[in-house]
Chain A
Amino acid sequence: MSGINIIPLFVVIPLGAAFLISLFGKFIRRFADIAAFVTSLGLLACSVRLMILLQNTPGKLLIYKIGGWAPPFGICLVIDGLSMFILFIINLIGFFVTVYSIAYMEKYTDKAKFFTLFSLMICGMNGAVITGDIFNLFVFLEIASIASYALVAFGTGHEELEASFKYAIMGSVASCFIFMAIAFLYGFTSTLNMADMARVLSYKQGNLFVPFVGVLFLMGFGLKSALMPFHAWLPDAHSSAPAPISAMLSGVLIKALGVYSLLRIFFNILGSTQVFLSALMFLSVISIIVGGVLSLSQWNLKRLMAYSSIGQIGYILLGIGLGTPLGIFGAMFHLLNHSVMKSLLFLTAGSIDHAGGGRDLREMSGIAKHMPFTAKANMIASMAVSGIPPFSGFFSKLIIIVACIQKGHIGYGVCAVIGSILTLSAFMKVQKFVFFGEVKDNLKNIKEAPWLMKFSMGGLALLCIVGGLMLLPSMRFFISDAVQVITKGTSYSSIILEAVSK
């Protein structure tokens, strides 16, 4: 299996794994663990292979025609810099989280079903990212969403069910808005292929039509990515889910489904207008401040991290809203960093929970003595997420703030700094209450996490430390390819249609 045929494997492998796990997982012990591990490793290898292939392709664009139908008539898969970037993040974090959950999910019953749903979630995200067809994007988005609704409720406790119901309702309403917008666009352009759609829209703008569809998409994907006025579901869902799922939701899902789709649709299809960018910046600054303040006031460890996610998504969207290449570069870099950092944070929280420490900050103290590895990993992630210099988070935030000042939005830059300070103080609070201080009596006999969990925490912590190296000129292609796709805007359509006709 070589060359371009590798592209559909990103959907086929996890899908096949899901079916096989649900078929054999009950009968063969350890089958689910091994199959999930092999799947995630294979996906990671495939994405590295595809990245090399993409680098060696002129134009940095790969198109796969499913069923051999030419694009406006059939579905085509498109790999460009942006999809490659997100695809790699999904499979990287997916691999570490899979390894972690092999040990962590011993706490719950029916591990085979967990890995089935997990594979389906990965499949949905991969499919949504690689597709070049707008309805297909919707279908895969729904697969990932349905799997994540079920995964949030995996423990079937009171809180899990409540959070899952809230999440499912919000997500379904968002899907309704997105589907409505797709219906409007189909009626207007009479095509579903993204590139073809952009071509039609470029000469047929209409009066209020495109802004209206834009608002529908903004509501839909804003709900999926928990932008400020639509954030209500996120803290519940992310804090109630099992720890690996919180890591996936916070680290990858809201970005793959929310931010990526928003970028693709607004920049490459509808064409970004200044009004939209200003609205996005305004919403994201509110997200930064409110997310920071609310996360500071939390006493539940995972809730604190979930609120912090809202703020960090705000940073990403602020950088995108600036619209300058530097701002988008910072946003993409922060997206990568935040995926790594936030997954690591949730995994450490899960490791404390797994050892019996609970989730309430006030009931923990001095855990560092018993769990030195977790404490160190958490320390690294906290410093990275609040932007302490040697770590990766510092550079991405710095780039976004510099881009703000460059564009003349001093106020937004100041807000970003304030948000960073708020994040820092929130995570200082975690350090103080959880890891330092006297050991409480009820925590005397907690033990360090098993080695599988340590392995994934260690790997992610390493990525946090070396993340800053991505800025080196020889490594920068990875991010700047993604930035180029966004800055090219609606000329996306002509590039793709040209590549197709060749």
Chain B
Amino acid sequence: MELYILLIFMIFAAFVAIEMQDLFSSVIAMGAVGFALCLAFIVVKAPDLAITQLVVEILCLIILIRATINKDIPLVIEGRWVFNTMATLIFAAVFLFFSYQAIRELPNFGEPLMAVVRKYMEEGADKTGSVNLVTGVVLDFRAYDTLGEAAALFAAVIGIVTVLRKTGRSGHDK
């Protein structure tokens, strides 16, 4: 039940975030979605994710607010092209219909299959030595993924430093 309330709140907040005219308010509304997600993670028994989502959300908000605050943003008048909006809505409707069909074939909520995971649960703590199974999976069974994740973050950091250079080209050009 809590999950339904949280998800409906998230959808509402997402609408607000996207439709709000004021940029600052919509950033705050996005923060609301993120913190609701963090609460939902606690409800579904994922404390690791809740902690991570909380701190990531704070960092994202700080960066986004720094990016948007004090920028004299002219009020963007949304072009009401009926055709494009209709096309998007029709696409969303078709997508929702087919995803509903696909969802019905998934296992019921609350009864996952857990074919591979059973072994993690039975032997994971002994084989990796970590009593936090999520850490055991992240840093031992699937440590290679974590290496990739670290590389992705590294690429983003170098990319950001690159994009924010003062001058891109040496010499004459531009």
A residues sitting closer than 8 Å to B (CB atoms) are 11, 15, 18-19, 22, 66-67, 69, 72-75, 106-110, 113-114, 116-117, 120, 123-124, 127, 135-136, 139-140, 142-143, 146-147, 149-150, 153-157, 160-161, 164, 184, 187-193, 196, 200, 206-209, 212-213, 215
Contacts and interface: CB of A to CB of B under 8 A. Distances in A.
Given A139-B145, A156-B168, 10 more contacts: A75-B145, A108-B168, A120-B155, A150-B156, A153-B163, A184-B106, A189-B113, A190-B116, A207-B105, A212-B99
Interface of B: 98-99, 101-102, 105-107, 112-117, 119-120, 140-145, 147-149, 151-152, 154-156, 158-163, 165, 167-171, 173-174
B148 A108 contact: no
Given A69-B141, A107-B171, A146-B152, A188 B159 contact: no
Nearest to B141: A74
A147 B160 CA distance: 10
A153 to B, nearest CB: 5
21 contacts: A18-B154, A67-B141, A73-B141, A108-B168, A109-B167, A109-B170, A117-B162, A139-B145, A139-B149, A143-B155, A146-B152, A149-B159, A150-B159, A156-B167, A161-B163, A188-B107, A190-B113, A191-B115, A200-B115, A209-B101, A215-B98
Contacts of A189: 113, 115
Contacts of B165: 109-110, 156
**Which of A116, A127, A139 has its CB near the most chain B CB atoms (within 10 A)?**
A139
B166 to A, nearest CB: 9
Contact of B105 (A19, A127, A157, A206): A206
Contacts of A15: 147, 151
B120 A150 contact: no
Given A67-B141, A187-B106, A209-B102, A22 B158 contact: yes
Contacts of B160: 150
A107 B170 CA distance: 6
Nearest to B149: A139
Contact of A73 (B107, B116, B147, B148): B116
Contacts of A187: 106-107, 112
Contacts of B148: 127, 136, 139-140, 142-143
Contacts of A157: 168-169, 174
Contacts of B154: 18-19, 22, 120
A191 B169 CA distance: 48
A120 B151 contact: yes
Contacts of A110: 162, 165
B171 to A, nearest CB: 7
Given A139-B152, A187-B107, A150 B163 contact: yes
B116 A136 contact: no
A136 B144 CA distance: 8
Given A107-B173, A143-B155, A153-B163, A73 B120 contact: yes
Contacts, number: 144
Nearest to A146: B155
A207 B161 contact: no
Contact of A117 (B117, B141, B155): B155
Contacts of A212: 98-99, 101-102
A209 B154 CA distance: 36
A335 B173 CA distance: 35
Given A110-B165, A155-B168, A123 B151 contact: yes
A150 B98 contact: no
Contacts of A66: 143-144
A169 B120 CA distance: 36
B125 to A, nearest CB: 14
A150 B157 CA distance: 10
